[in-house]
Amino acid sequence: KIDRFGQEINNEESVWYWCHKNKIPVFCPSITDGAIGDNLFFHSYKNPGLIVDIAQDIKLLNQLAMKAKKTGMIILGGGMVKHHICNANLMRNGADFAVLINTAQEFDGSDAGAKPDEAKSWGKIKMEATPVKVYAEASVIFPLIVSQTFAKLIHP
């Protein structure tokens, strides 16, 4: 489980630490991509037996969405992460709230560039929802959004 990283890190500067401490599940649908996947391969090559159950992760993510009274999506970027979060909400007939932040445009046909109306048409966002798409670099704009919204509730 990815939760184990937060448990072992034991560093208050880590997002994973706080997720572990507050029992907030963390999912990584693309955990086998990149360096972690390479290291899983190298480890299992020399030490057979390690199994990473990505099917269990998708099951847990979908069940969380299906059991929730309401769901909201704040999606930074696009691609696989956006697809998995939206699909989990499809399992519950759509998210109640959605904010999509990325630089992708609709003209190239990418999932990241799709407007929220497309997610509505698939049932990934409820028809009565009022989703927002912000065309901006997420690493720049998200901290500004948080500072002017959520953070004001903590530090008025």
Q: Which residues are catalytic?
A: 124
Nearest of 70, 67, 87, 90 to residue 79 by alpha carbon: 87
- Residue 60 CA to residue 69 CA, distance in Å, equals 16
Q: Which residue's entry shows tokens 């009565």?
A: 128
CA nearest 52: which of 19, 29, 69?
A: 29
78/48 Cα distance (integer angstroms): 34
**Residue with tokens 């497309």, as numbered in its chain:** 118
DSSP reduced 3-state for 47: coil
Q: How far apart are CA 64 and CA 118, in angstroms?
A: 23
Report the alpha-carbon angle 101-2-102, nearest 5. Answer: 10
